[in-house]
Amino acid sequence: MAVDMKRRLIRGGAVIAIALGAGQLVQGMSDKKPAPRVAEGQLSQKPTKLERVAATDVTAKPEAMLAKPATPKAAELPAPVAKAAPAPEAKPAPIEVAKADACPVTLELANSENALIAVTLISPCHANERVVLKHAGLTISAKTTLTGALFTDLPALEQDASVEVMFKDNTSVQASVAVPELASLRRFAVQWQQDDAFQLHGFEDASDFGGAGDVSAATPHQPAAGVPAKGGFLTVLGEVSTDLPMLAQVYTYPKDSKANAEIVIEAAVTDATCGRELLGQTLQTANGAVKITDMSLAMPECDAVGDYLVLKNLVPDMTIAAN
């Protein structure tokens, strides 16, 4: 009993202490004046003008409308301004790298004095090589330099001259040039291969072998550079040192020459020519065209070495005279 009574007294004291504390707290709070409360719809400043706004179909609370404006309808949105597509970035044009030709070949022709064709061949991959030049039926062999170059002159046989150069590998290059000066000249040529040798003579002013008017390989009467030819002259063509040499001689004389010129071809009887048949061709310019004639000559036996066979009357006819 005494214990229970003691417990009740202690519990009652605690309750009284809590109540007194609460009373002091309430008393302390009651001493302060409460802050005036503003009604929820009251504004600190009264509006001076009211504007009526059409109601929308937005059902959000006023707080939500103030926090986030309603999105206008799609019809109310301004039409999007079409932006011009950005110009494509200019890219630098691809640089074309020219592939260097491993074996470049150039052929240039120029019209030279006395109706000659100046030939310039540049062919580095055909150095020190036999080549064949062809022009209007005229065919000769030549040889390039150690650098693959060739510089030579060809007597034009056509005014619209075309020259072809053929190489050992069966490739070729071609070029053309106009030679109007040929209209005032006439030409006669003889060509052959290897040992089938012929010699061309133009006897002017009734000259004979070895005379002043004998135009031949021994006395070609070549005009000086830059000086027009007054009479006839001879051009020797072809490279003897090549394999299977193709050689020619061309006699040029004025078309309106007053001097009488006799054209003769001779063939020497040698150890290389005796006892067999020689083959060749003659070429003659006539009325802007080239007349090509095959020529066959039966040589005497080898006991006639040292003699000559002479072909006369080649223009217009061809006869043979033994000397």
Split at pLDDT 50, 70, 90, the class of 316 is low
Please indicate whether residue 94 or residue 139 has the higher confidence score (pLDDT): 139
pTM for the model stands at 0.67
Average pLDDT, integer, range 174-192? 96
Q: Where are the domains of the chain?
A: 106-322
Average pLDDT, integer, range 61-88? 52
Q: What percent of the chain has pLDDT over 90?
A: 53
Please indicate whether residue 234 or residue 11 has the higher confidence score (pLDDT): 234
Average pLDDT, integer, range 195-212? 90
Residue ranges with strand state E in the chain: 106-112, 116-122, 130-135, 138-143, 149-155, 160-166, 172-178, 185-193, 199-204, 214-215, 233-237, 246-254, 261-268, 277-286, 289-298, 308-312, 319-322
Q: Across the chain, what does the average pLDDT equal? A: 78
Please indicate whether residue 175 or residue 95 has the higher confidence score (pLDDT): 175
Give the separation between CA 122 and CA 168, rounded to whole angstroms: 15
Following DSSP, what letter does each residue of 225-275 receive, concatenated?
A: TTS--SS-EEEEES-TTSSS-EEEEEEEEETT--S-EEEEEEEE--TTTTT
Mapped onto helix, strand or coil, the DSSP state of residue 92 is coil
* Segment among 57-66, 185-194, 245-254, 300-309 with least mean pLDDT: 57-66
Split at pLDDT 50, 70, 90, the class of 83 is low
Contact 156, 288 (CB under 8 A): no
The per-residue pLDDT for 287 is 79
Give the separation between CA 272 and CA 305, rounded to whole angstroms: 10
Q: What percent of the chain has pLDDT over 70?
A: 65
Average pLDDT, integer, range 22-50? 43
The per-residue pLDDT for 9 is 44
Average pLDDT, integer, range 129-140? 98
Contact 118, 135 (CB under 8 A): no
